Amino acid sequence: MTPRALRKLLDAILIPLLAVLSGLVLMGVLVVVTGKPLWESYQILFTSAFGCKNAATSCSLFTTLERATPLIFTGLSAVVAFRSGMFSIGQEGQYLMGAVMAAYLGYAIHLPYVIHPIVIILASMAAGAVYSWIPGILKVKLGVNELLATIMLNAIATTFTEYMVQYPMRADRGTTAHSPIIDATAFLPSFFQGSRWGVGFIIAVLAVIVVIVYLWRTKSGYEQRMAGQSLKFAFYGGIPSDQAAIRAMVISGALAGLAGAVEVLGVQHRIMTGFSTGLGFDGLTAAILGQTHPIGVFIVAILFAGLRLGAQIGLQIQVHIPQEVGGTIIGFIILFVAARKFYENSIASVRKLLTRNKDIKAKGEGG
Amino acid sequence: MGDFFQVFTFQLLNSGIRLATPILLAALGGALCNKAGVLDLALEAKMLLGAFVGILAAYLLHNTYLGVLVGMLAGGLLGLFFAFLYHKYEVDLVILAIAFNLIILELTVFLMRVLFNNVGSWTDPSIQILPDIQIPLIKDIPVLGDILSGYNAIVYASWLIVVIMYVVLYKTPFGRHIRAVGENKEAAETVGINARMIQTMALTIAGMLAAMGGAFLSVGHLTLFTRNMSDGRGWTAIAAALFGLNHPVWTGLASLFFGFTAAFSVRIQNVTNLDPNLVNMIPNIATLLVLVIIALRTKIWERMARSRFRSKLREEDRAKDIAKSV
Amino acid sequence: MVPILEMKGISRYFSSTDVLANDRVDFSVEKGVVHALVGENGAGKTTLMNILYGLIKPDSGEIFIEGKKVRIGHPNDAIKVGIGMVHQHFELVPSFTVAENIKLGIEPTRAGFLNTRAENEDVAQLAQKFGLKIDPQVRVRDLPVGMQQRVEILKVLQRQAKIVILDEPTAVLTPQEVGELSTVVRGLTKLGLTVIFITHKLIEVLDVCDRVSVMRAGRMVGTKAVAETDIPDLAKMMVGREVLLRVKKEPAKMGGVVFESKDASVADISGLAAISHVSFDVHAGEILGIAGVSGNGQTELVEALAGMKPLDGGKFFFKDKDITATNVRARRDLGIAHIPEDRMTVGLNLQTTLDENLIVSRYNQPEYSRMGFLIEKTIRNFVETVIKSFSISAARPGEGISKLSGGNLQKIVLGRELAGSPSLILANQPTRGLDVGSIEFVHKTLVEARDRGCAIVLVSVELEEIMSLADRILIFYRGMIQGELITSQTNEHEVGILMAGGTMEEVRKQKAAAESEVNR
């Protein structure tokens, strides 16, 4: 890598890195405040998140990767939307629509192996795409604020999902409603028996590559990025920005819908009450911390999933620190990244201090 | 059919009002911020914080009313911090809100587990639920009595706040300044109004109100704190404020609308086979429609200005043709 | 008699644009008069008034109100000494009523609550006192622009202004509203107030004003009583005789008509005419200059020509084909290039690389993309060609451009727009903010394009640029063509007359007067 490119990369990741470090420091504070051993906690956190003793039977890393998978998809969804200038936070709703579609087609239609999941995935992507197209067209044709529209659509989707689980698709007679388990032909296989990490992750990696190629190597991706960075420039140059924005929303929705399909086909194999656990928002935050770049999303999604898992099976069980510390730290990391000006100001002051010392030294030596 | 009408009892109105209260309080806060030109999406966080601190303070101080007040204080401080970060570091409002929501969600449970021996939800017999207040004369009025009397202090406070907010916003100079800042910040600043301070105050008050709503959930409804008690009510409040076009009274009515549908959906479940979730969708769809209608209105206005100009041009051309032919 | 306002030796330099906006300016105003402050864009009049109103601090100089020295560091200070300013862009709250806007910040109260009755009465009285008919209870958004301006004026009067500054007040008014404003202004002076009119629309000024001060290039050129001067005289003071840049060029070898505008009209946001019944044509091999003080419709004209704004009336023809309904991309494909006024936010996307900036108008062509994918090789070749032919220093393929100088940025724009041999170039203020070397480069490039047979529409508020580059000149005033002149047969004064709102008749008179001077 050329030194210039390296410099650019460092510039891009400096503040997120500082934010993550600040978050970890804060975790240390919380650990000390609750009277638990500090260094041991850090160790346990990391081994519980990313450790791997036996590939087949006890590998937290694989669990982390599996948990990161939906985040990668919803994060990519947010990246595509943001890069085209659409501040859509509708990943949650689009994800649910995709999941409902997948859960339904999993038992309602019967197709052979390999074909079944492919058809379902395409259908879920379509469901998410349509659900994202709605706020897109409203914004472009009528000027409706996409942030507010997607908030409302998220709420509608959440209630809709609960409805589907509790009534038309209900398969149980108990207190926690759930839909029928999907056909075996629809399953996305996992790599190891007993682990849920599987083909879904491969699809996620593929998605990252596809999004990178799409954004930076295709005409459409170029149009979207220009429209997102400078609408005036895009209009002046003749780029059809309206079409580009709607296309972005459709692709964004498809990715979020894909998240739902993969979660249902690969992990849960059905949907149940309380299916929506805020995965959409987590993907959104991954996109923010990951500097709206697909690779950033990939890394951060794994980081977030790891933090939560490490807190859950490591800190909670071994050191008796409540697992919520994981989510708390993630929240603070987002806060630190959002307040990047704080870091920028501090870095500038440090720089000023260093050059002032240099000047004083120079003057001292000259005079 | 008779089943259907059984649903409409005064019980329904009662629970509707109770269910609406936390939404109403947070929505008023959100509406105030919107009026001041700053979008507050962190209502969920403020509500949850109020719920947690409220019950904790009630327990420690052996007084539920004081607990509620301390909860409100906490919410206010959170709002103040939010405003500080927004103004000082130019943080994006949406990202800031998402961060706050996540932090408070997890941190409240973390603290609960740390303080109370790792429980999943916490209560204590010594905590007194907020008592229902029976208003002396009104309670005896046949129908209205059941509807208007017998709620706890927070419910009545919420009604009072609707009135107070209306009066302040539309009948005092301060309220007018708030609205000016929200509609045209430059115009306000030119005449010497401090926009930053007004927005900070709005965010702080919103924090206090949302926290009061949260306290209602933890000590006014049950005496319990559990993970994610607010359960999306903060977001519902945002919708209610939008639906009520940020006007205190309309927002109040919109919150009641949301509250009644929630009560209605519960009732329906017990009485008929209709699905409660579909009912709950109605207010959200309605809010979305409101957004669309508002946008349409602006678009139509622009179109009309354009077409007025074009018909004027056509007239001018016609006049010229007539002048030529003469 | 001590003048009510005296500004002495005001100087102000802006490092961001390297411009000395005010150069030891002396400005003196008598009490009770309507005093016009005129000049072209960049003459320094707005800066001078912003200093007076406390929006900017001067580098040096003093201000005296009624003989007493004052320090004005903030608009509040200006208001305290009785200065009020009505800006070109109003600062009103649309949903508030007239009275609510006027009383914003100083509302009358009763026991802490708003006293709307007193408010409305106060405002009604105020309006009556100054002869301004207005209904205090109407919402500002329902008022026509002329009335909104009255609200702004009343806002100033409510705060006890003794000196009222009006910044380009007639720019947003219809001719009828201009008449009404004149009546209002006369009324104000009858009551002892002093009015300062910042404007470049001399025609309107002469009717209302008593005295005129002319500024040019940051200096105060002179002050006269209106009775002792006329449009040609003022135009001469406004545009001066400086002949700095003259590009060496051959006379134009004009070809056929490349573009024709028939009766074009475009509305602005509020439904008024931005340009109105504009007809002209451009030939191959000629540079058509569009002169005029900024804000007379030139921007809207260029946007309409580029396809960025739809026509509300009239038609455009390109090589005899009706292109009125075509969009930006279609026009670019036909061979219409556009060098925009704002190179940093419109002409370029500073957040991305040089390559992505250069391909915005051609990425759709078969050599640049296939089956949806961009072809790196073609793009890279193009970038390198442009860098070489325009000697863009410090720019490298694949790199960002945000740190490049204004001159280099404009070279990138030129490189992109001129590649592919366009038939028509729309150049809107192409040398704004550039250093002398870059200006020369741009001029040279445009003349070369013209000599290759390109048709060029050059919009500029710099009269020198127009005079040195354009073969023919159209002068825009209030969205219409005020007149047409052949460059070789005219001079700055004649153009200046039209720029200020004068008519071709006055130009002919001026020409005749000048010729008889020479003959004597």
- Of the two residues C330 and C202, the one the predictor is more confident about is C330
Of A4, A217, A230, nearest to C349 by CB-CB distance is A230
Tokens for C435, please give them: 């250093």
- Residues of A in CB contact (< 8 Å) with C are 4, 217-220, 222, 225-226, 229-230, 232-240
- Bridge partner list, C426: C338, C457
Residue type (1 letter), C152: E
Task: For residue C413, give the nearest of C441, C454, C455, C452 by alpha carbon.
Answer: C441
Q: What is the pLDDT of residues B200-218, one digit of tens each?
A: 999 999 999 999 999 999 9
Residues with Cβ within 8 Å of A39's Cβ and at least 6 positions away in sequence, in order, are none
pLDDT at B51 over 90: yes
| Domain boundaries defined on chain A | 64-284
Q: Report the neighbours of A using a cutoff of 3 or more CB pairs below 8 angstroms.
A: B, C
The amino acid that residue A111 corresponds to is L
- The answer to whether C243 and C464 are in contact (CB under 8 A) is yes
- A76 three-state secondary structure: helix
**Contact between chains at B305 and C267 (C-beta distance less than 8 A):** yes
Nearest to A25 by CA among A16, A43, A38, A14: A38
Q: Which helix (H) or strand (E) holds C425?
A: strand C424-428
Is position C506 within any domain? no
Residue C520's pLDDT is 65
* ipTM rounded to 2 decimals: 0.88
Indicate the residue among C190, C211, C239 that finishes a domain. Answer: C239
Q: Is B281 within 8 Å of A163 when comparing Cβ atoms?
A: yes
Q: Which of C83, C92, C93, C279 to mutate to test the interface with B (most CBs of B within 10 A)?
A: C93
Chain B partners of C106 at a C-beta cutoff of 8 Å?
Answer: 191
Using CA atoms, how far residue A88 sits from A246, A290, C66, in Å, is: 12, 17, 59
Question: Would you call B283 helix, strand, or coil by DSSP?
Answer: helix
The per-residue pLDDT of chain C, averaged, comes to 89
Task: Give the pLDDT score at A97.
Answer: 96
Question: Cβ of B306 and C270 within 8 Å?
Answer: no
Overall number of domains in chain C: 3
Q: Which residues of B touch A138 (CB under 8 A)?
A: 291-292, 295
Phi, psi values for residue C24, rounded to 5° = 50, 60
Q: Is the pLDDT of residue B195 over 80?
A: yes
CA distances from C86 to B160, C194, C304, C354 (A): 42, 14, 31, 43
Pick from B171, B305, B306: CB nearest C114: B171
Distance (Å, whole) CA C439 – CA C433: 9
Q: Say what the pLDDT of residue A102 is.
A: 94
* C217 and C301 together in one domain: no
Full domain range(s) for residue C367: 347-421
Query: Number of Cβ pairs closer than 8 Å across A and C?
Result: 65
- pLDDT of C115-128, one tens digit each? 999 999 999 999 98
pLDDT confidence of residue A221: 95
Would the CB atoms of B317 and C109 count as touching at under 8 Å? no
Assess whether C266 and C283 both reside in one domain. yes
User: In chain C, which among 380-439 make CB contacts under 8 A with chain A?
Assistant: 399
**If you ran DSSP here, which 8-state letter would residue A182 be given?**
P
Six token digits for residue B325:
């032919």
DSSP code of residue C252? P
Residues from chain C contacting residue A219 (CB–CB below 8 Å): 363-364, 369, 372-374
pLDDT for position B251 = 95
DSSP assignments along B136-152, one per residue: TTGGGSHHHHHHHSSEE
Q: What per-residue confidence (pLDDT) applies to C241?
A: 58
All residues at 6 or more sequence positions from A267 whose CB lies less than 8 Å from its CB, including other chains = A66, A196, A200
CB pairs under 8 A between A and B: 129
C373 and A236: CB-CB below 8 Å?
no
Contacts of B257 (CB under 8 A, 6+ apart): B240, B243, B283, B286
Same domain as C54, residue C156:
yes
Q: Which of B184, B197, B294, B318 to mutate to test the interface with C (most CBs of C within 10 A)?
A: B184
The dihedrals phi and psi of C317, each to the nearest 5 degrees, come to -125, 130
> Euclidean distance between the first and final Cα of chain C, in Å?
43
Which fold does the domain B2-274 belong to in CATH?
Answer: ABC transporter involved in vitamin B12 uptake, BtuC (1.10.3470)
Name the token pair of A201: 């992750």
Q: Is the pLDDT of residue B50 over 50?
A: yes
Cβ pair C346:A233 closer than 8 A:
yes
* CB atoms A145 and B96 under 8 Å: no
Res B138: pLDDT: 73
User: Looking at the partner chain, which of A166, A322, A328 has a beta carbon nearest the beta carbon of B277?
Assistant: A166
Read off the pLDDT of residues C415-466 as tens digits, 9 standing for 90 and up.
Answer: 999 998 899 999 999 998 888 888 889 999 999 999 999 999 999 988 889 9
CATH (domain of C73)? 3.40.50.300
pTM: 0.88
Q: What is the pLDDT of residues C461-472, one digit of tens each?
A: 888 899 989 999
Candidates C376, C145, C396, C137; CA nearest to C269 is: C145
Q: What is the mean pLDDT of residues B91-100?
A: 92
Distances (CA, A) of B215 to B66, B105, C450: 11, 15, 76
List residues bridging with C11 in a β-sheet: C60
Computed from CA positions of residues A138, A143, A144, A145, in that sequence, does the dihedral angle turn out positive or negative?
positive
A331, B236: Cβ pair inside 8 Å? Answer: no
Residue C49 lies in a domain: yes
Which tops the pLDDT comparison, A263 or B146? Answer: A263
Q: What are the extents of the domains in chain B?
A: 2-274, 284-326
Owner of token pair 């509040």: C76
**Are residues C296 and C263 part of one domain?**
yes
CB contact under 8 A, B186 and C91: yes
The H or E element spanning position C266 is strand C257-267
pLDDT at A1: 58
Confidence of residue B178 (pLDDT cuts 50, 70, 90): very high
Yes or no, beta carbons of C348 and A233 under 8 Å apart: yes
Strands C257-267 and C273-283: antiparallel
Interface test with C, best of A219, A220, A229, A247 (most C CBs within 10 A): A219
Do residues C393 and C408 make contact, with C-beta atoms less than 8 angstroms apart?
yes
Rounded to the nearest 5°, which phi and psi values hold at C431?
A: -115, 15
| Each residue's pLDDT tens digit, B19-28 | 999 999 999 9
Nearest CA among B289, B204, B280, B203 for reference residue B236: B280
Q: Residue C246 above 70 pLDDT?
A: no
Whether B235 sits inside 8 A of A155 (CB atoms) is: yes
Q: Which of B172, B174, B176, B301 to mutate to test the interface with C (most CBs of C within 10 A)?
A: B176
Q: For residues B93 and A85, give the distance between their C-alpha atoms in angstroms, rounded to a whole number.
A: 16
Interface residue C347 vs chain A (CB under 8 A): yes
Tell me which amino acid residue C400 is: G
Per-residue model confidence (pLDDT) at position B145 = 74
Q: Which residue is it, tokens 């990490």?
A: A197
Q: Is C365 on the interface with A (CB under 8 A)?
A: no
Q: Which of A75, A18, A44 is nearest to A309 (CA)?
A: A44
Looking at the predicted structure, is the pLDDT value of residue C378 above 80? yes
pLDDT grade, residue B273 (50/70/90)? low
- C137: pLDDT strictly greater than 60: yes
Question: Which residue numbers in chain A have pLDDT < 70?
Answer: 1, 55-57, 358-367
- Percentage of residues in chain C with pLDDT exceeding 90? 55
DSSP assignment string, A258-288: HHHHHIIIIIISS-BTT---SHHHHHHHHHH
CA distance A149 to B158: 28
What's CA A96's distance to the chain center, in Å? 15
Assess contact for C214 and C39: CB atoms under 8 A.
yes
Please indicate, yes or no, if residue C81 is contained in any of the structural domains: yes
> What angle, 0 to 180 degrees and rounded to 10, lies between the N-to-C axes of helices B153-171 and B195-215?
160
Q: Which chain A residues touch C412 with a CB distance below 8 Å? A: none
Cβ-defined contact of B102 to A330 (cutoff 8 Å): yes
Contact B176, C114 (CB under 8 A): yes
* Digit-coded pLDDT (tens) for C266-283: 988 766 788 999 999 999
Note whether residue C245 is domain-resident: no
Residue B46 has pLDDT above 90, yes or no: yes
The answer to whether residues C221 and C352 belong to one domain is: no
Q: Where are the alpha helices (DSSP H) in chain B?
A: 2-6, 10-35, 43-61, 64-89, 93-115, 142-148, 153-171, 173-183, 185-190, 195-215, 233-243, 248-271, 276-325
SS3 letters for C29-94? Answer: ECCCCEEEEECCCCCCHHHHHHHHCCCCCCCEEEEEECCEEECCCCHHHHHHCCEEEECCCCCCCC
Cβ <8 Å between B232 and A331: no
Whether residue C468 is found in the same domain as residue C482: yes
